[in-house]
Amino acid sequence: MNSLFQYHFYYVFVVLFGLGLYTLLDSPHLLKKVIGLNLVQISVFLVFVSAGYIDGASPPLLSANPPFANPLPHAIVLTAIVIGVGLTAVALALVLKLYDEFGTMDIQEIEEALANDE
C-alpha cells in the first residue's frame, strides 16, 4: 500500500493510457478517437514531468532555492504540447474531410460505404 502513495502519478499514467487506448479501440465516433489519442498523449506527459520531480523542489528558476525540478522534461513536454496541437489539428482536418466525403462521423458506416463502393 505504501508504494501506491509513492507511485500514484505513474499509476494515473497507466490508467489514462489505458482509457485512451480503449477509446481508440471501442468508440466508432471519429472525434472521440481524436480525444482518445489526446488522452494517451497527456498520460505520457505525466510520466515525463513526474520523473523530473524531486520532493520539495522549486520550479527551475535560478532565482529560486535549490533543489530544482529537472528542467529537461519540462522543455520536452512544452514543445510536445505545441506539437500535440498540430497533430490534433491535422487529425481533425482529416476528420472534416471524411465527413465531407461520407456525411457521417461513424467509422463503421464509412467502412460499409467503402465496401459497397468496390
CB-based contact 107:28 (threshold 8 Å): yes
CB of 116 to another protein, least distance (A): 18
DSSP code of residue 57: P
CB of 42 to another protein, least distance (A): 6
Nearer to another protein, 22 or 111 (CB): 22
Nearer to another protein, 100 or 118 (CB): 100
CB-based contact 37:24 (threshold 8 Å): yes
Nearer to another protein, 83 or 114 (CB): 83
CB of 114 to another protein, least distance (A): 18
Picking from 10, 39, 7, the residue whose alpha carbon sits closest to that of residue 23 is 39
